[in-house]
Amino acid sequence: MAETGFPGTYSTTTVTQTQTATTVTTNIRFDPSYVRTIPGMLKIAIMVLNILGFICIMVSEVNYHSRANWFNFCAMGGFWITGILLAFYLFHVIEKLYFIPWIMVEMGYCGLWCFFMLTASAACAAQGSLFEAWAAASFFGFISMILYGVDAFFKFKGWRAGEIAQGERVRSVQKSETVGTPAY
């Protein structure tokens, strides 16, 4: 205890102790409950929007244009990477490979693909008045871009909070306070 040197004052010492326990099950198993979570629904919605945008570009009469190819790369790349991540979550591969910082990996992926979908959708929207299919594709692309941004934001919040991608991390905080006697 520290002495303050002033009569009638008290000295207080506070001790805080935090314990963290991480629990992961490293066996591969199918768990369909992930699709009912917000990240699971985001992944499914992104996949649907990406495939719809891809179909819109492919049915247009100028699907060979460089803007169309860039959109198709972004849409199909996002579709397949998001599909693989969804399968990893459904089969608990993410939990098995818990030593990989999945939250940061997904945050980087979602942020990058948000930018990719912005550029691809803007490129198609610039020609949307000439080709209606491109206008529809850019609409789906912009919605996909928003969902990628929302997912990146959720991953950022989880990363800042110290969460893990799959499994349990339990934190218990024990706080004890010791109040001293009057300091003289």
What confidence tier does 39 reach under pLDDT thresholds 50, 70, 90?
A: very high
Nearest by Cα to 57 from 145, 140, 119: 140
Q: Are 58 and 72 in contact (CB under 8 A)?
A: yes
- Give buried/exposed letters for 34-57 (b at 16+ CB in 10 A, else e): beeeebbebbebbbebbbbbbebb
Nearest by Cα to 154 from 93, 94, 102, 86: 102
Per-residue pLDDT, averaged over 143-157, amounts to: 97
Q: Which residue has the tokens 């199909």?
A: 76
Question: Which of 182 and 142 is assigned the larger pLDDT?
Answer: 142
Q: Looking at 65-74, 77-86, 135-144, 173-182, which range is the least confident one?
A: 173-182
Per-residue pLDDT, averaged over 152-176, amounts to: 79
The DSSP call for residue 8 is: T
High-pLDDT (> 90) share of the chain, %: 60
Q: Examine the pLDDT at 170 and tell me if it is beyond 60.
A: no
Q: Looking at 10-24, 77-91, 109-123, 161-175, which range is the least confident one?
A: 10-24
Cβ count within 10 A of residue 95? 23
Structural tokens at position 14: 């506070």
* Dihedral angle sign, alpha carbons of residues 161, 48, 98, 21: positive
High-pLDDT (> 70) share of the chain, %: 77
